[in-house]
Structure formats: structure tokens, C-alpha cells
Amino acid sequence: MKRPFNPDKEVCDYCDHIMHAHIQVLRENKDERTWYWDYPAVAAVCHNDTCMAKRSSFSHYPSGGKWHGVLRAKLEEIAPIGQRLVGNCAEQHAANNYMNQLTEDDLGELYFSIARRPRTKEEIPYCNNCKRTFPNIH
């Protein structure tokens, strides 16, 4: 039977994955379309209230990809995606993955791990854009 996960353990494990992938990519000198050539500044996990479903992501510029309509509309109350750091955050990308892949339309059903810096696993405080966007980020 599936058991609830610990969101902080999940994001720490994700940071470990990023670190290992980063090292491999650098050593193998893969071409520039590879993720993790540079460490992302932040990683985060978005999950439901029971910690039974989750999606992860990392900070990156919002080029390509499809933004969930509800999330896009909320983000664009701040600024168009791509301006004023809107659409860059790990939390926003994780939420987008969650909403798109798990068919969730309610921002109030989204919960987040501590955001961490993949290189060091330091805690990174949530930014004001994310606090404005997600009801469960304060």
C-alpha cells in the first residue's frame, strides 16, 4: 500500500538527483540543451494535502512548455509570464507540472515542500510572487 511521503525528504532527494546529474553532464560534455549543466538556483516539490501525489521542478526561465490556464491567469495578475521573474520559480514550475499532469484546477489544493538550493540544500524562502499566487504559501 502506498504511504505518504515526507515533502522535505523528497526535495532533498531531488537535490541529490540534480547534483549527480549535473556532475555527469559536465563530465560527459553533453550539448547545451541538456538540463542541469548549471545547477538550478532552487528546487521545490508541489504535492497534495495527504502527501500521496507530487511533482517536482527547479527554477528556470519560462520558455517553451504549456502553462495551466488557472495558474497562468493567476500569475499574470502580477505580470506577463517572463517579466518580473514571473514564471521563473521552482514552485511555479512544480505547480504547473502538478496541475497539468494530475488534472488539478484548484490552486488551494497545492502544497509545497521547503524550497532548497540544490548545490547545498539550504532553505530558500518563498518569494512574494509565489506568496501572491499560492494560497498555501505564506
Partner 1 sequence: MLTHDIDWFCIVNGIYVHLASAGGILPLSFRDRDILRELQHNVAVAPYLFAEEDVVDNEAFLNQRFANNPKGRASYVVSFRDMARKGFVSMDRTNLLETNDNHYHIVSRPRLWNEHSIENIVIPEMPVGEKPELDFSPLGLLE
Nearer to partner 1, 42 or 71 (CB): 42
Q: Helix, strand, or coil here: 46?
A: strand
Sketch the per residue contact string, 50 through 69, with partner 1: x for CB under 8 A, - otherwise. Answer: ---------xxx--------
Nearer to partner 1, 46 or 104 (CB): 46
Place of cell 514552485: 91
Q: How far apart are CA 52 and CA 64, in angstroms?
A: 28
Sketch the per residue contact string, 2 through 31, with partner 1: x for CB under 8 A, - otherwise. Answer: -----------------x---x--xx-x--
Nearer to partner 1, 94 or 104 (CB): 94
Sketch the per residue contact string, 70 through 89, with partner 1: x for CB under 8 A, - otherwise. Answer: ---------------x--x-
Binding of partner 1 by 129 (CB under 8 A): no
Total number of residues that touch partner 1 (CB under 8 A): 25
Q: Which helix (H) or strand (E) holds 124?
A: strand 123-124
Q: How far apart are CA 75 and CA 99, in angstroms?
A: 14
Q: What count of other Cβ atoms lies within 10 Å of the Cβ of residue 117?
A: 17
Cross-strand partners of 54:
47
Given CA atoms 56, 61, 67, 70 in this order, what sign does their dihedral have? Answer: positive
Binding site for partner 1 (CB under 8 A): 19, 23, 26-27, 29, 32, 37-42, 59-61, 85, 88, 117-122, 124-125
